């Protein structure tokens, strides 16, 4: 997901966007929380006993009325016997559930509580049904629930940051629709189990019914296109891999399609591009330049593209961009950089299309590796922001990448910790992007072995392949594989707003040093610009310089720290 809006926006829009764009959605602006936040952010008794296996989503938007109607078949299995018979189905107001069918019979006992419905299964014995030996857990669902709904969904205010359903027009005044809902939640447009920890193990299908003058694009591959003989067409798309709820979205407009292929680490990867008809030539030029070189760089650093079965796809969108799995939203207007600007201020950010590189980086960090709770969203955004530097390093060299990362520091606010509050759907600071990337870069310096660092990045994508995880699990994996205990460093940079300050005192060829503004026990080593390593702690230490003198000595700029020199 994105953090910033273009500097070219008028001042009032910039001011508004800065307040919103501290993360995927303006969640961390909230200071008070309710039972609704707990229902949304916690795997409680209405969620903990069942697991989603597959979604079948059917949706028909009405552009003029700004409304939708549809249904969702939720295939699920039971993971907790003797379970609560109440099932929590999330659907945000003002959308309404019309009816629910289970086992061929209509359920009449469901009740709304704000943005959730509680479905009562009465006397049905899940345990007996779940004992069927023919059922393959996580791949073949034991049960199926059909939810029928309608209404006027929340309309996006400033997508993708303040999201919802987007009813817009293209440059020729024709309907152009999609959804952006990370953080806000997929339940803003369809009924689901709206929690990051439960991805449908066997994927999803998305059937989109639109006027036959329009084209509808979804995640994965197009498996069917049906003329309904009534002026509408149904476009059916299928995803084979697990996918997060917020990644499943329709795109509807006057699209044209062209295809390409990439010979990648796992063989032939299909590349599909859906763009507005009048932008076809621009797309061929921009996508043709950056997509393949991006994929080659990221497969080198992170391992194979995680979704070969579902293909790689860019879809032009009316908003700036979003990491929708296998169907990335692209709205960078075919410009280099971030809407023709460089977030680092170094010049390196204008040598490639920011949205192609950043949002595609999320296919590895965010879509392949997904955190269970949005509070740990730094794992998505910190690594993806750092993927930009790795792309630069792959093509322009390490010095360029170092400059890019250092340039991002001017965007760090250190307002609140990177990790948010658990169990209430509350993300941390927007610093998860720039500060997260700088923390990873700092850890890379301490590992001091780029081959090992690359193995760790690839190992993360192998260890947590197509799974949901936690920040703690990612932190532990990095420390274990590096053979170094980074726990204090993670604690410092992720869970506080304090930037470690290195105090250096000295005269001529010797220095004394210690850390301030740090947590207890913080002892991160630092490389000096003469190549010498020092291991500061809260207690003062001294060392003779191997080269240079006090006047010229400084810590390596690749470490994200503050420095105070006292002669």
pLDDT in tens, 539-558: 999 999 999 999 999 999 99
The angle that helices 487-495 and 434-447 make with each other, rounded to 10 degrees, is 160
pLDDT at 271: 98
- Which residues 6+ apart lie within 8 Å of 47 measured at CB? 88, 193, 195, 198
In 56-91, which positions are buried (b, 16+ CB within 10 angstroms) versus exposed (e)? bbbbbbebeeebbbbbbbbbbbbeeeebbebbbbbb
pLDDT at 140: 59
Nearest to 107 by CA among 128, 87, 127: 87
pLDDT at 567: 83
Most confident of 31-45, 73-87, 220-234: 220-234
Distance from C-alpha of 200 to C-alpha of 52, rounded to nearest angstrom: 5
133 burial type by CB count under 10 A (0-12 exposed, 13-18 middle, 19+ buried): exposed
Mean pLDDT of 322-326: 98
Most confident of 44-53, 126-135, 280-289: 280-289
Residue % of the chain over a pLDDT of 90? 87
Torsions phi, psi of 396, nearest 5? Answer: -120, -5
262 has a pLDDT exceeding 90: yes
Identify any residues that bridge with 543 across adjacent strands, giving them in sequence order.
511
| Direct distance between the N- and C-terminal alpha carbons of the chain, in angstroms, rounded to an integer | 45
- Which residues 6+ apart lie within 8 Å of 142 measured at CB? 76, 77, 78, 129, 130, 132, 135
Joined tokens for residue 467: 């799974």
Mean pLDDT of 299-305: 98
Mean pLDDT of 175-184: 97
pLDDT at 405: 98
pLDDT at 142: 80
Mean pLDDT of 313-324: 98
Under the banding of pLDDT at 50, 70 and 90, the label for residue 507 is confident
Contact 434, 421 (CB under 8 A): no
DSSP designation for 527: E
Distance from C-alpha of 170 to C-alpha of 165, rounded to nearest angstrom: 16
Mean pLDDT of 484-498: 98
pLDDT at 81: 72
- Which residues 6+ apart lie within 8 Å of 490 measured at CB? 439, 471, 475
11 has a pLDDT exceeding 60: no
Q: Which residue has the tokens 């299995």?
A: 77
Mean pLDDT of 179-202: 97
- Which residues 6+ apart lie within 8 Å of 462 measured at CB? 303
Joined tokens for residue 480: 């274990």
The least confident of 5-9, 160-164, 196-200, 464-468 is: 5-9
pLDDT at 84: 66
Strand, coil or helix: what is 128? helix
Contact 250, 59 (CB under 8 A): yes
Q: What integer best gives the mean pLDDT of the chain?
A: 92
Contact 252, 216 (CB under 8 A): yes
Mean pLDDT of 232-239: 98
Q: Which domains does the chain have, with CATH numbers?
A: 501-566 (2.60.40)
pLDDT at 131: 53
* 402-426 pLDDT tens trace: 999 999 999 999 999 999 999 999 9
Mean pLDDT of 352-363: 98
pLDDT at 126: 75
pTM: 0.94
Nearest to 33 by CA among 526, 326, 477, 422: 422
* 147-157 pLDDT tens trace: 999 999 999 99
The least confident of 40-44, 84-88, 130-134, 384-388 is: 130-134
The angle that helices 450-463 and 471-482 make with each other, rounded to 10 degrees, is 140
Mean pLDDT of 331-337: 98
pLDDT at 338: 97
Under the banding of pLDDT at 50, 70 and 90, the label for residue 15 is very low
Give the count of beta carbons closer than 10 Å to the beta carbon of residue 411: 16
- Which residues 6+ apart lie within 8 Å of 32 measured at CB? none
pLDDT at 22: 33
Q: What is the largest CA-CA distance in the chain?
A: 87
pLDDT at 23: 38
DSSP designation for 522: -
DSSP designation for 254: S
Nearest to 412 by CA among 16, 4, 72, 116: 4
80 has a pLDDT exceeding 90: no
Distance from C-alpha of 379 to C-alpha of 367, rounded to nearest angstrom: 11
Bigger pLDDT: 254 or 108? 254
The angle that helices 471-482 and 487-495 make with each other, rounded to 10 degrees, is 140
Q: What share of the chain is helix, strand, coil (3-state, %, to 5)?
A: 30, 30, 40
- Which residues 6+ apart lie within 8 Å of 229 measured at CB? none
């Amino acid at each position: 997901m994105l953090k910033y809006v273009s500097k070219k926006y008028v001042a009032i829009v910039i001011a508004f966007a800065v307040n919103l764009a501290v993360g995927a959605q303006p969640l961390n602006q909230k200071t008070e929380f309710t039972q609704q936040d707990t229902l949304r952010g916690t795997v409680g008794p209405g969620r903990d006993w069942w697991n989603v296996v597959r979604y079948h989503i059917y949706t028909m938007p009405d552009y003029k009325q700004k409304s939708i109607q549809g249904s969702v078949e939720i295939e699920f299995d039971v993971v907790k016997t003797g379970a609560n018979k109440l099932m929590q189905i999330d659907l945000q107001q003002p959308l309404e559930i019309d009816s629910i069918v289970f086992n061929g019979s209509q359920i009449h006992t469901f009740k709304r509580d704000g943005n959730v419905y509680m479905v009562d299964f009465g006397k049905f014995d899940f345990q007996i049904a779940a004992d069927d030996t023919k059922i393959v857990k996580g791949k073949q669902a034991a049960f199926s629930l059909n939810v029928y709904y309608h209404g006027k969904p929340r309309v996006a205010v400033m997508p993708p940051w303040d999201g919802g359903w987007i009813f817009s027009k293209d440059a020729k005044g024709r309907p152009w629709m999609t959804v952006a809902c990370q953080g806000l939640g997929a339940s803003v447009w369809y009924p689901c189990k709206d929690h990051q920890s439960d991805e449908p193990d066997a994927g999803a299908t998305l059937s989109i019914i639109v006027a036959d003058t329009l084209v509808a694009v979804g995640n994965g591959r197009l498996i069917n296109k049906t003329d309904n003989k009534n002026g509408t067409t149904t476009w059916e798309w299928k995803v084979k891999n697990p996918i997060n709820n917020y990644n499943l979205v329709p795109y509807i407009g006057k699209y044209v399609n062209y295809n390409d292929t990439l010979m990648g680490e796992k063989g032939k990867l299909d590349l599909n591009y859906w763009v507005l008809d009048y932008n076809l030539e621009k797309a061929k030029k921009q996508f043709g330049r950056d997509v393949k070189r991006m994929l080659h760089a990221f497969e080198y650093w992170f391992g194979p593209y995680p979704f070969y079965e579902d293909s790689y796809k860019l879809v032009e969108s009316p908003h700036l961009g979003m990491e929708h799995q296998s169907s990335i939203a692209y709205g960078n207007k075919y410009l280099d950089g971030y809407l023709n600007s460089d977030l680092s201020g170094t010049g390196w950010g204008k040598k490639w299309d920011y949205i192609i590189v950043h949002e595609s980086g999320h296919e590895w960090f965010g879509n392949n590796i997904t955190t269970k709770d949005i509070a740990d969203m730094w794992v998505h955004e910190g690594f993806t922001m750092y993927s930009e530097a790795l792309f630069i390093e792959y093509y322009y060299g390490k010095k360029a990448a170092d400059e890019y990362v250092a340039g991002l520091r001017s965007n760090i606010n250190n307002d609140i910790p990177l990790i948010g509050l658990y169990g209430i759907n509350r993300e941390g600071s927007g610093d998860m992007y720039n500060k997260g990337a700088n923390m990873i870069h700092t850890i890379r310096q301490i590992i001091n072995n780029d081959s090992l660092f690359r193995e760790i990045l690839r190992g993360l994508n192998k260890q947590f392949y197509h799974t949901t995880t936690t920040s703690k699990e990612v932190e532990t994996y990095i420390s274990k594989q590096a053979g170094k205990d980074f726990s204090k460093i993670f604690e410092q940079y992720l869970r506080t707003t304090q930037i470690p300050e290195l105090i250096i005192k000295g005269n001529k060829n010797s220095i004394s040093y210690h850390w301030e503004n740090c947590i207890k026990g913080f002892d991160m080593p630092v490389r000096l610009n003469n190549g010498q390593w020092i291991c500061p702690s809260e207690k003062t230490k001294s060392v003779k310089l191997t080269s240079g003198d006090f006047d010229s000595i400084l810590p390596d700029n690749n470490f994200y720290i503050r420095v105070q020199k006292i002669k």
